[in-house]
Amino acid sequence: MYFLIFKAMTMKPRVGKEAMLGQTADVVKDIAPEGKIKYFTEIWNAMGEGKKFSVGEKVMIQGFWGMTVLAKEIPSDTPRQQKSR
């Protein structure tokens, strides 16, 4: 029984904001400094980290500020974790 509890507590989140962290998304409205991204079928308001992103670029979801996604550039040495649709 303790094993199942431990296993459940150490699992990565599958839904919600926590599951989005570190994932990639497509820019659908220029981010300069605010714009919009598409993560799977959802459109989110986004803010860049002092960098401008154009429509069609991919960004990494770094965090949240209320209901706004904080987007950053995808590091070149990090493999993409999940393909955005």
CATH number at residue 63: 2.40.50.140
| pLDDT value at residue 52 | 92
> Please, which pLDDT band fits residue 78 given cuts at 50, 70 and 90?
low
> 39: phi > 0 → left, psi -120 to 50 → alpha, else beta; which?
beta
Asked whether residue 16 is assigned to any structural domain, the reply reads yes
Q: How many domains does the chain have?
A: 1
Segments forming the whole domain that contains residue 63: 2-72
| pLDDT value at residue 32 | 93
| pLDDT value at residue 80 | 56
Asked whether residue 82 is assigned to any structural domain, the reply reads no
- Measured between alpha carbons, how far apart are the two ends of the chain, in Å? 38
Asked whether residue 84 is assigned to any structural domain, the reply reads no
Pairwise CA distance, residues 39 & 44, whole Å: 7
Give the CA dihedral 34, 40, 42, 45, nearest 10 degrees: -10
pLDDT digits (tens, 9 = 90+) for 24-49: 999 999 999 899 999 999 999 999 98
